[in-house]
Amino acid sequence: MHTLIIDTDPGADDVIALLFALAAPESLSIQALTTVAGNVPLAKTSRNARLACEWAGRPEVPVYAGAERPLQRTPIYAANIHGHEGLTGVVVHEPAVPLAEGGAVDYLVRTLRAAPENSVTLAMLGPQTNLALALEQAPDITRGIRELVLMAGAHFNGGNITPVAEFNVFADPHAAEAVLKSGVPITMLPLDVTHKILTSDARIARLRGLGNRAGAIVADILDAYAPQEMKHYGMPGGPVHDATVTAYLLRPDLFQGRRIHVEIDSREGMGFGQTVADWHGSLKRPANVNWIIDGDAQGFFDLLTEHIARLP
């Protein structure tokens, strides 16, 4: 059982990750969602996070809005991939439940301070600005954290926003640096693994065939999202990046990785936003990340489909 906070920038794959997690109350005790600017500006990521709660039939889960911009760099978005509303393939509306009062950074500080030692897992699906701000304000909050599970980074696969950088890190490398330096246990699911867990027509058809609203939403999102990724990378299917974080939380046995030393390049230049992953231990520096490189793709889609089936 994880006591969980999900920090997110929905985002097509974020919404799928959220629906998946919200469908697993027996394993994931979700305290709140915290939102950050990323794929689209904050107002839209915050609306989409609330939409995910509505679609999952979980309107009681509070959503706190967080950082409107990265720590230092100029803001960037990914509307070219996720659409101007931050969601491909589905029509959005203003959800019935408003945002929770107070900001995400204050919520993180307050909650992690009050939590028992090593008790809260944070799933991080967007740029890591909120946690970096919380750590700056209150470095002692690391005490309450059990583990961070991040969709972030790229090494063997190469990047998706520059030749070497993955979007979430590129969108706020200074935040990623602060998070990596915090010393808390970190698992990263980089493009190295997310580009191995790909949609197929049959996998999407199974989700649609569930016959519920959530299955149709996930299938519609993927039908619109996958082809552009397939075309760009020449892959046989599309990735569902952030949803691998939910799957890892529920079934870590579906994944393989290695504990390695990782640093972020935050200098201006071609390497900006790169996760420098010392896979072979050349630097002889202590491991700070459990870096996932492989996963059971069919196991992932079976788990996703079983969970989406439980929703309205």
Assess 78 for contact with ligand BDR (CB under 6 A): yes
Closest CA to 171 of 132, 214, 227: 132
Closest CA to 38 of 60, 8, 71, 72: 8
Q: Which is nearer to Ca ion, 9 or 166 (CB)?
A: 9
Q: How far is the CB of 117 from ligand BDR (least distance, A)?
A: 29
Out of 125, 188, 254, 277, the residue judged to bind ligand BDR by CB under 6 A: 125
Q: Which is nearer to Ca ion, 95 or 239 (CB)?
A: 239
Q: Which is nearer to ligand BDR, 76 or 309 (CB)?
A: 76
Out of 48, 128, 160, 182, the residue judged to bind ligand BDR by CB under 6 A: 160
Q: Which is nearer to Ca ion, 9 or 172 (CB)?
A: 9
Out of 7, 14, 172, 223, the residue judged to bind ligand BDR by CB under 6 A: 14
Q: How far is the CB of 170 from ligand BDR (least distance, A)?
A: 9
Residue nearest to ligand BDR (CB): 167
Q: Which is nearer to ligand BDR, 141 or 161 (CB)?
A: 161
Residue 83 binding target from Ca ion, ligand BDR, none, CB below 5 to 8 Å by type:
none
Whether the CB-CB separation of 250 and 123 falls below 8 Å is answered with no
Assess 239 for contact with Ca ion (CB under 5 A): no
Number of residues that bind Ca ion (CB under 5 A): 6
Assess 177 for contact with ligand BDR (CB under 6 A): no
d(CA 49, CA 22): 11
What part of residues 223-282 is at the interface with ligand BDR (CB under 6 A)?
Answer: 241-242
Convert the chain into a string of H (helix), E (strand) and C (coil): CEEEEEEECCCHHHHHHHHHHHCCCCCEEEEEEEECCCCCCHHHHHHHHHHHHHHCCCCCCCEEECCCCCCCCCCCCCHHHHCCCCCCCCCCCCCCCCCCCCCHHHHHHHHHHHCCCCCEEEEECCCCHHHHHHHHHCHHHHHHEEEEEEECCCCCCCCCCCCCECHHHHCCHHHHHHHHCCCCCEEEECHHHHCCCECCHHHHHHHHCCCCHHHHHHHHHHHHHHHHHHHHHCCCCCECCCHHHHHHHHCHHHEEEEEEEEEECCCCCCCCCEEEEECCCCCCCCCCEEEEEEECHHHHHHHHHHHHCCCC
d(CA 37, CA 44): 8
Out of 125, 169, 176, 221, the residue judged to bind Ca ion by CB under 5 A: 125
Q: How far is the CB of 124 from Ca ion (least distance, A)?
A: 9
Whether the CB-CB separation of 187 and 248 falls below 8 Å is answered with yes
Assess 166 for contact with ligand BDR (CB under 6 A): yes
Residue 160 binding target from Ca ion, ligand BDR, none, CB below 5 to 8 Å by type:
ligand BDR
- Active-site positions read 241
Q: Interacting stretch for ligand BDR, rule CB under 6 A, among 8-16, 129-137, 204-212, 278-286?
A: 8-16
Assess 192 for contact with ligand BDR (CB under 6 A): no
List contacts with Ca ion (CB under 5 A). Answer: 9, 11, 14, 125-126, 242
List contacts with ligand BDR (CB under 6 A). Answer: 11, 13-14, 39, 78, 81, 125-126, 151, 160, 166-168, 241-242
